[in-house]
Amino acid sequence: MKPTGGVPRRPVPAAARPASAHHPAAAGHIAGGGGAPPAPAARWRLVIFDFDGTLADSFPWLAAVLNDVAARWRFRQVAPEETEILRHASAREILRHLRVPGWKAPLVARDLRRRMAADIHHIRPFAGIDGLLRELEQTGLILAIATSNSADNVRAVLGAQALRRIHHLEAGVSIHGKGARLRRLLRRTGVPAAAAVYIGDELRDIAAARAAGVTAAAVTWGYNRAEALSRARPDLVFERVADIRAQLLPESEP
């Protein structure tokens, strides 16, 4: 469960970081999905990122605090043996499993964001993210973030230098509100959907991209496991940060 603007996200019980095979520093490749063919690299104009699990390595932090939050708000705690099952589940399935009623979800989300702000020094961007943002921005691409986390937490983790490369920040998005925020980014930038890509780590990120008509790209180092993401047939799959650079900037070296 990530900190969200309206409903808590992915539960990450007492587990460790993603397996090394799926860490952005591990070897990997780009695999196409089953959606509409992505735009040629030369046509990309707008690159939108999710934050938690995509740019920020917040999984270990959430693993450490989730059951404390569950105890306070009286929803179901997650046993260690449930971790992998839940990492293959959708956000709706997870909320049902945790027995979080709709009225309580915004309260839980607010608590998670507050706790993260207090512990923000424990959360860092994934290795290579700062360099990736710099290279993408230097080529003239418009960069944006659409996240359920707070703008303050995003700024604190990425830092002022990286944030200067982000042209648009849509924060505090509700669990099923990303599609609308992506469409708003298209209107604000004037970029057609065919020239935009949304990069996230969850099944709901893929669904949001499809709802907005943009290319759906998934990273395998985040909250949902690669196997779960592949069943949703994203247009692009990235196993390393370098894969994003290679796909969006084909003339550059990984």
Pick the more confident residue, 205 or 40: 205
Residue 109 lies in a domain: yes
Residue 1's pLDDT is what?
62
pLDDT of res. 3? 66
Q: Which of 88, 121, 154 is the last residue of a domain?
A: 121
Q: Based on the structure, what is the number of domains in the chain?
A: 2
Greater confidence, 150 or 37?
150
By residue range, what is the domain housing residue 67? Answer: 59-121
| Nearest C-alpha neighbor of 7 from the set 72, 91, 78, 76 | 91
Mean pLDDT of 60-88: 86
Residues 175 and 51 in one domain: yes
What does the angle CA 172 – CA 41 – CA 137 come to, to the nearest 5 degrees?
50
Residues 69 and 147 in one domain: no
Do 128 and 174 reside in the same domain of the chain? yes
35-58 residue pLDDT tens = 555 555 557 999 999 999 999 999
Q: Which helix (H) or strand (E) holds 118?
A: helix 105-118
pLDDT of the residue at 37? 52
Catalytic residues: 50
* DSSP calls for 190-236: T--GGGEEEEESSHHHHHHHHHHTSEEEEETTSSS-HHHHHHT--SE
As a whole number, mean pLDDT of residues 160-176 equals: 91
Ranking 12-21, 152-161, 207-216 by mean pLDDT, the lowest is 12-21
Over residues 3-35, the pLDDT tens digits come to: 654 333 333 333 333 333 344 544 344 344 545
Spatial distance between the Cα atoms of 254 and 115, rounded to a whole number of angstroms: 36
Across the chain, what does the average pLDDT equal?
Answer: 83
Percent with pLDDT over 90 in the chain: 59
Does residue 225 share a domain with residue 168?
Answer: yes
pLDDT of 133 reads 97
Structural tokens at position 56: 């920020």
6 within a domain of the structure (yes/no): no
Last residue in a domain, options 75, 98, 121: 121
Residue 239, pLDDT > 90, answer: yes
pTM: 0.82
| Per-residue tokens: 33 | 């999905």
Average pLDDT of span 229-236: 96
With 0-12 CB in 10 A as exposed, 13-18 as middle and 19+ as buried, what is 250?
Answer: exposed
Q: Put the strands of the sheet holding 236-238 in their side by side order.
A: 31-32, 236-238, 215-219, 196-200, 46-49, 142-146, 168-170
